[in-house]
Each structure stands twice: as structure tokens, then as C-alpha cells.
Structure 1
Amino acid sequence: MGKVRPASIKRVARLLLERYGDKFTADYESNKKLVEELVEVPSKKIRNLLAGYVTSLVKMQVKESGAESSP
């Protein structure tokens, strides 16, 4: 099993997705660059955690919207 993400990472990632949701994609590398531009992160590890969680949230949204559209 994988590691559990800290609540602070989840909170900031959800906030970023709420404010800049149209800019994020399902691509981790582009999200990583975007997180670095939008947020002043203290370390590379935190930036990567944020980008990874945002990417997984975007993928979940895409999956949910695809499931809703198919009968």
C-alpha cells in the first residue's frame, strides 16, 4: 500500500484546483511546473506531492464525468 498524504497537502491541492482548475491537466509534469508558478513551495518534495495529488484529483474528475455521460 502507498503512503497517506498529509491533510495540508490535500487542502492546498483542493484549493489550487478550485481556483485554477481550468489550467491543470492529467499530466503530472505540466502540473508540477504550474504548481511551482502558482505557489511558493518550500521544497521540491512538497511541490511534487502537491502536483501528484492535483493530478490524481483531475484524473478522478475526468473519470467521474466520463461515467456520468455514458448510459
Structure 2
Amino acid sequence: MGRIRPGFVKKQAQELLQKYKDKFSANFDENKKILMKNAEFPTKKLRNLIAGCITKEVKKSQKVHSLQ
């Protein structure tokens, strides 16, 4: 079992994913770079948590589309 992400991390990730939907990919490192360019975060840990959440959502949506 994995760690549970706080609600504000999930909410921020969803907002950024909707705003920059076409820029994000299933690659964590690329998503970190995109976040550094398009948004500011007080800590590196918070940026990485949000990048991980976005990566997970992108992978999940790709999996759903491939099954259909």
C-alpha cells in the first residue's frame, strides 16, 4: 500500500492538469520541469508530490483509453 496524499495536493494537481492538459505526460521528470516553468511552489517536496500525482492521473487516463 502506498502513502495517502493530502487533499490540497490532489486538488492542486487536478487544477494544473486541467489548465495544462496537453503539456503533461506519463514521465515524472518531464512533469517536474513543466511545473517549474508554469507554477511556483514553496518547497521541492510539494512540487514533487504534485508532479507524482499528475503522473499517476495521466497514466491512469492512458490506461483507460487503451482499454476502450
Q: TM-score range by the shorter chain?
A: over 0.9
Structure 2 residue runs without a partner (length 5+): none
Q: Secondary structure at the match of 1:40?
A: coil
Structure 1 residue 25 corresponds to structure 2 residue 20: no
Output the amino acid matched with 2:47: R
Q: What's the C-alpha RMSD, in Å, of the aligned pairs?
A: 0.6
**What is the distance in 1 between the residues matched to 2:37 and 2:9?**
17
Rg larger in structure = 1
How many residues align? The count is: 68
Pair 1:3-2:3 in alignment: yes
Sequence identity, in percent? 43
1:67 aligns with 2:55: no
Q: How far is 1:3 from its partner? A: 1.0
Q: Which amino acid aligns with 1:35?
A: L
Could you tell me the TM-score, scaled by structure 1's length? Answer: 0.92
* Superposition misfits of 4+ residues, deviation over 3 angstroms: none
For structure 1, list consecutive stretches of 5 or more residues without a partner in the other structure.
none
